[in-house]
Each structure stands twice: as C-alpha cells, then as structure tokens.
Amino acid sequence: MAMVSTGIPSGFPEGSKHVQKRGKGGVYPPHHWLSAPSSAQGVLALLQENDTDIQQAALMELKDLVDVHWMELADALPDIEALAEEEAFPSRQLAAHLASRIYFHLEASADSLKFALESGDWLQLNDNSLYSQTILGKER
C-alpha cells in the first residue's frame, strides 16, 4: 500500500478500524492482526495427547483457525477423523464438524457433507456463509 502524506496507508480513511495507532514509525494496524497465529502446528500437536480434555481444547482452537489454516489442518485429517469416529470421545461431533470444514475447503463435497451430517449441534446452517450454502446444496 502506498503511504500518503498523512502517514495513513492509502485506501484506509482516517479513523478507520484498520488504522488504530500512531507512533514514530507512522500508523500501525490494529494489534489483533499481530496476535493471529501464523501456524496451527502447535495446536495440531495437541491432538496427539492421550488426555481427552487436551484434545477437546485443541479441537476448539482449531475450529477457530480452520478457515485460515485449512491447508495445514488437512495434513491432520486422519487424526481428526479418528476422533470423529471414536464412539467414546466426548467431542466427536466437534471433530466431525472440523473435518467437514476442512473437506469443504479441499472442495471434497461428499466428504464434507458426510462429516457435516455427523456434527450434530455444531452444524449451524442458518447463516449465509458459502459453507452453509454448499452443504445445503444451494447456488449462491
């Protein structure tokens, strides 16, 4: 982005949510951009733990990362699917939801639908997202 004389990146109006702080170096983006994880690898490693509480916490984190880090998560699909298919695992529906979202990004519609149907209450189709529309089979 080109800088204009005000020090604000062009395309972002003064007071924009994209421009939050001024300092010696100019205008900085909101700090939450800086806190976004750049990789899901650390969280994915937690799926290998034997403690179901840790695995469940990892799935919750991964649920929030899936739309950005789906490519990394795709490598862990066998582990996520195993949790989704394990009858005794308390968060198997969450694992199924996560698998469905990953398959959606991989454009594997049949697998995405299969796991979506197993995700129970995690399947929320009342929004207008591309994922929901795809699962419902509606054209956008």
pLDDT tens per residue across span 5-56: 444 444 444 444 444 444 454 444 444 444 455 678 899 999 999 999 999 9
**pLDDT higher than threshold 60 for residue 117:** yes
Radius of gyration (C-alpha) of the chain in whole angstroms: 19
**pLDDT higher than threshold 70 for residue 123:** yes
Which of 12-16, 68-72, 119-123 is modeled with the greatest confidence? 68-72
17 lies in which domain range?
1-36
CB 83: neighbour CB atoms within 10 A?
A: 22
Q: Are residues 28 and 80 in the same domain?
A: no
Burial tier of 36 (Cβ tally within 10 Å: 0-12, 13-18, 19+): exposed
Q: Are residues 30 and 45 in the same domain?
A: no
Q: Are residues 65 and 107 in the same domain?
A: yes
Q: Are residues 5 and 46 in the same domain?
A: no
Q: What is the pLDDT of residue 69?
A: 93
Residue corresponding to tokens 């080109």: 2
Q: What is the pLDDT of residue 118?
A: 95
Q: Are residues 114 and 55 in the same domain?
A: yes
CB 100: neighbour CB atoms within 10 A?
A: 26
Q: Are residues 70 and 131 in the same domain?
A: yes
Q: Are residues 122 and 56 in the same domain?
A: yes
Q: Are residues 122 and 103 in the same domain?
A: yes
Q: Are residues 52 and 101 in the same domain?
A: yes
Q: Are residues 21 and 48 in the same domain?
A: no
Instruction: Answer with the residue of higher pLDDT: 139 or 90.
Output: 90
Q: Are residues 103 and 128 in the same domain?
A: yes
Domain total of the chain:
2
Q: Are residues 26 and 80 in the same domain?
A: no
